[in-house]
Amino acid sequence: MLNFELKNPTKIIFGKGQIANLAKELPQDAKILLLYGGGSIKTNGIYEQVKTALDGFDVVEFGGIPANPEYEVLLEALKVIKEQHITYLLAVGGGSVIDGTKFLSAAALYEGGSPWEILTKSIKTEKGMPFGTVLTLPATASEMNSGAVITRAETQEKFSMGGPGLFPVFSILDPQVVASIPQRQLANGVTDAFTHVLEQYMTYPAGGLLQDRFAESIMQTLVEVAPKVIAEPTNYEAAANFMWSCTMALNGLIQKGVPGDWAVHMMGHELTALFGIDHARTLAIVAPSHYRFNFEAKKEKLAQYGKRVWGITGDNIDEIANEAIVKTEAFFHSLEIKTTLSEYTEDYKGTAEKIAGRFTERGWLGLGEHKSLTPANVQQIIEMSY
Amino acid sequence: MLNFELKNPTKIIFGKGQIANLAKELPQDAKILLLYGGGSIKTNGIYEQVKTALDGFDVVEFGGIPANPEYEVLLEALKVIKEQHITYLLAVGGGSVIDGTKFLSAAALYEGGSPWEILTKSIKTEKGMPFGTVLTLPATASEMNSGAVITRAETQEKFSMGGPGLFPVFSILDPQVVASIPQRQLANGVTDAFTHVLEQYMTYPAGGLLQDRFAESIMQTLVEVAPKVIAEPTNYEAAANFMWSCTMALNGLIQKGVPGDWAVHMMGHELTALFGIDHARTLAIVAPSHYRFNFEAKKEKLAQYGKRVWGITGDNIDEIANEAIVKTEAFFHSLEIKTTLSEYTEDYKGTAEKIAGRFTERGWLGLGEHKSLTPANVQQIIEMSY
């Protein structure tokens, strides 16, 4: 097991009807910027619940934060924060709205030059403007971690950012929101959370026996509840386990003391930037090829996963590991998630070279848990994903 | 799944050599009271490591906090805190030293009358004196939760206390400390942590699918590493997984959203108070009888545990559940932990009546996840444990 530090101060308020308790978490004298996305919260009743809970507070609104939160749109919100002397941010949405809010939390107190530096210079934010979240879409765990991914549409690029000052002060998770989420986004949420776990688990064995079992627990639970969530989103028990699994998949716990891979995300982000493919779906495209390409390094873990998560029996490590990849693809297919790039775009030729070229340009010369995956390897993996 | 709130702000610093990083966690101007137990830290090298790391700080020492930290001894330490104007507490020890430090953290800032009230009036401490810990004995998870158990020798009683202000600011967990822990205490640590998980898991089924799997993960890991920890305490990987499992067993995570039982602890505490039997051993005495007595209510969970943790196969729920209890006893026996009261004392007759009488006196008329276990039931369970 590797040495680690863990500190996660976010207060989680989980369960039925918890949005009504929002006011208790906010300072009485806060000047609040309420941030949300495309407006679905206005049709599913969540906006009303939030507004009712905010009765008596000084609230300004900023809607229209898009999926893959765009820098340009966020700059508009930043202007509102400065002009209106906002002191507290409240994100009501999924990962995109929360990630955008994290950027704003950092940018609002940033004392350097352009806020663009936060992204390009990988500035770690030690102190941001305080913010809370009301989660409307389980998937990214942004509600309980300190990281965010921001897109710049102009240059088709995605940047990661974060820092210990960017944990939400609180996050309200009411599983009842799942009932109004479109099927496509539910499937994305399951796939996203499942792949988050894989990124932290499917490495060389590192002696994190408890971490491995926790990771397997999350994947087992997702496999168990996914069909119910998709078929019957009003099933509270399934929704609650789905929601909590998504949060635990990337709130930092299972990554402590073990190596992380994250190459699948690095490659997947490029497919979103280039083709606008949903984040979760890009992961499902890349992951199987990544595991096949890195089979020798990962086969012990693949076999452990195959046995424990998929119940594959037998003694031949290679066979079990291969079967585990096939089962993973089948799981994505069961969610109606396609796993090859050519099923999403006819324009896929040259993509592998292009992405490898971008990685070379950025100096991303070694990805994965050993930082050994070269741009040439990346090219091969993307080609295998066509 | 039940509604829940989760907030655990303790910073964990885990791994080899981490004690050397102690100074970074302490305010430069702190006046520190260094608290420890019977002095084993002076022979195993931990005291030296801590003192070296504290070089340059203003430190007062208070040693001699006994196992099952006694109110009378803690009052002496409280006097030192007041007289010396201490501003920060540092517990170097196991659960007893850390629990005692939590009482002091609460008592140092208590504005009521006698600090005794904190225990008898169940005062929830919202703000305590800040404290950190260096863990020397994995078992209780006191290093990452906000609860404590304090003993009053005079009246042979144990009291629980806690509150959101009693999380350690930080806890340093170096698994290398395991190498110098006596076998008896290692066996106690495994048993204590394992039973902590059982208390939060072995209830009626409550739809916490992920919580169940996390609980099973901890138990599976403890079962896997216990023989290695006992046979070879210098095995770092086993020690690290043991240490992290103990922390995760009672840091609050697995209890969120599910009911808790805790009747085994309530009964066990009395056996420690009456006979001085090690805390962990009292749990091993009571737990099997408790599960047999409440078999009908708990058999579904017992069977799930039997299948998943012990790999028991078959279709008959009753048989699997019974076998699971037998496996649990066998696990305790494998650690050389005896599971009947008469193996610890010849004086056991009348104990059941006495404990039932105490519970009646205190108004503890309904224990367990349904608050339905009466003093008469308690008497029967203790009698079954003779």
Shared-domain flag, residues A118 and A216: no
First to last CA, chain B: 36
Partner residue facing A209 (CB), from B6, B16, B221: B221
Residue B118 belongs to a domain: yes
Shared-domain flag, residues B162 and B218: no
3-state secondary structure A165-205: HHCCCEEEECHHHHHHCCHHHHHHHHHHHHHHHHHHHCCCC
Q: Which residues of A touch B253 (CB under 8 A)?
A: 253
Whether B241 sits inside 8 A of A1 (CB atoms) is yes
Partner residue facing A210 (CB), from B208, B209, B217: B217
Shared-domain flag, residues B235 and B170: no
Q: Which residues of A touch B236 (CB under 8 A)?
A: 1
Task: Say if strands A58-62 and A31-35 run parallel, antiparallel, or are unpaired.
Answer: parallel
Residue B191: give its domain's CATH number: 1.20.1090.10
Residues 153-182 of A with CB under 8 A from B: 175
* Lookup: tokens for A48: 């009303």
pLDDT (tens digit, 0 to 9) for every residue of chain B, 386 residues total? 999 999 999 999 999 999 999 999 999 999 999 999 988 899 999 999 999 999 999 999 999 999 889 999 999 999 999 999 999 999 999 999 999 999 999 999 999 889 999 999 989 999 999 999 999 999 999 999 999 999 888 877 788 899 999 999 999 999 999 999 999 999 999 999 999 999 999 999 999 999 999 999 999 999 999 999 999 999 999 999 999 999 999 999 999 999 999 999 999 999 998 999 999 999 999 999 999 999 999 999 999 999 999 999 999 999 999 999 999 999 999 999 999 999 999 999 999 999 999 999 989 999 999 999 999 999 999 999 99
Range of the domain at B163: 11-176
Shared-domain flag, residues B118 and B220: no
Shared-domain flag, residues B190 and B207: yes
Residue B4 belongs to a domain: no
**What was the pLDDT predicted at A157?**
78
Are B166 and B147 spatial neighbours (Cβ–Cβ below 8 Å)?
yes
Separation in Å, CA A273 to CA A162, A277, A279: 20, 8, 9
Whether A9 sits inside 8 A of B7 (CB atoms) is yes
Q: Which residues of B touch A217 (CB under 8 A)?
A: 210, 213-214, 216-217
Shared-domain flag, residues B149 and B218: no
Residue ending a domain, choose from B136, B153, B176: B176
Shared-domain flag, residues B363 and B312: yes
Shared-domain flag, residues B137 and B191: no
Where on the phi/psi map is residue B358: left (φ > 0), alpha (ψ -120 to 50), or beta? alpha
pLDDT (tens digit, 0 to 9) for every residue of chain A, 386 residues total? 999 999 999 999 999 999 999 999 999 999 999 999 988 899 999 999 999 999 999 999 999 999 889 999 999 999 999 999 999 999 999 999 999 999 999 999 999 889 999 998 989 999 999 999 999 999 999 999 999 999 888 877 788 899 999 999 999 999 999 999 999 999 999 999 999 999 999 999 999 999 999 999 999 999 999 999 999 999 999 999 999 999 999 999 999 999 999 999 999 999 998 999 999 999 999 999 999 999 999 999 999 999 999 999 999 999 999 999 999 999 999 999 999 999 999 999 999 999 999 999 989 999 999 999 999 999 999 999 99
Q: What size, in residues, is chain A?
A: 386
CB count in 10 Å sphere of residue B141: 23
* Cross-strand partners of A93: A135
CB count in 10 Å sphere of residue A82: 11
For residue B179, which phi and psi values (nearest 5 degrees)? -60, -25
Q: Which residues of A touch B209 (CB under 8 A)?
A: 221, 224-225, 237, 241
Q: Report the candidate in B107, B99, B187 with the shortest Cα–Cα distance to residue B151.
A: B99
Separation in Å, CA A216 to CA A198, A319, A324: 9, 20, 13
Alpha-carbon gap: B60 to the closest alpha carbon of chain A (Å): 28
Shared-domain flag, residues A161 and A198: no
In chain A, alpha helices (H): 46-53, 71-83, 95-108, 116-120, 183-201, 209-231, 236-249, 263-275, 279-293, 295-310, 317-334, 351-362, 375-384
Residue ending a domain, choose from A176, A209, A230: A176
Residue A111: give its domain's CATH number: 3.40.50.1970
Q: Report the candidate in B308, B331, B213, B222 with the shortest Cα–Cα distance to residue A213.
A: B213
B240 touches chain A (CB under 8 A): yes
Alpha-carbon gap: B220 to the closest alpha carbon of chain A (Å): 8
| Number of domains composing chain A | 2
In B6-94, alpha helices (H): 40-43, 46-53, 71-83
Partner residue facing A214 (CB), from B207, B209, B217: B217
**What was the pLDDT predicted at A153?**
81
CA distance B311 to B333: 19
Query: For residues A289, A256, A273 and A351, what is the CA-based torsion angle, rounded to 10 degrees?
Result: -20
Alpha-carbon gap: B268 to the closest alpha carbon of chain A (Å): 28
Cβ-defined contacts of B290-299 (< 8 Å, 24+): B290/B263, B290/B264, B290/B381, B291/B202, B291/B325, B291/B328, B292/B325, B292/B384, B293/B377, B293/B380, B293/B381, B293/B384, B294/B368, B294/B373, B295/B321, B295/B322, B297/B204, B297/B370, B298/B202, B298/B203, B298/B204
Residue B348 belongs to a domain: yes
Residue A5 belongs to a domain: no
Task: Say if strands B170-173 and A147-152 run parallel, antiparallel, or are unpaired.
Answer: unpaired
For B19, the closest chain A residue by CA position comes to A3
Are B254 and B200 spatial neighbours (Cβ–Cβ below 8 Å)?
yes
Residue A1 belongs to a domain: no
CA distance A138 to A180: 12
B216 touches chain A (CB under 8 A): yes
CB count in 10 Å sphere of residue B63: 17
Shared-domain flag, residues B25 and B117: yes
Q: How many Cα atoms are found within 13 Å in the side-chain-facing hemisphere of A351?
A: 26
Whether B240 sits inside 8 A of A257 (CB atoms) is yes
CA distance A93 to A136: 5
**What was the pLDDT predicted at B165?**
97
Are A130 and A90 spatial neighbours (Cβ–Cβ below 8 Å)?
no
Select the residue from B21, B197, B210, B213 to test the A interface by mutation, using most A Cβ atoms within 10 A. Answer: B210
Residue B239 belongs to a domain: yes
Whether A11 sits inside 8 A of B5 (CB atoms) is yes
Radius of gyration of chain B (CA): 20
**What was the pLDDT predicted at A381?**
98
Q: Which residues of B touch A248 (CB under 8 A)?
A: 210
Residue B3 belongs to a domain: no
Residue A335 belongs to a domain: yes
Whether B3 sits inside 8 A of A12 (CB atoms) is no
CA distance B158 to B343: 23
**What was the pLDDT predicted at A371?**
95
Alpha-carbon gap: B1 to the closest alpha carbon of chain A (Å): 6
Could you say which DSSP state residue A37 is in?
A: S
Shared-domain flag, residues B161 and B247: no
Helix (H) or strand (E) holding B100: helix B95-108
Residue ending a domain, choose from A134, A159, A176: A176
Helix (H, G, I), strand (E, B) or coil at A18: helix
Shared-domain flag, residues B89 and B229: no
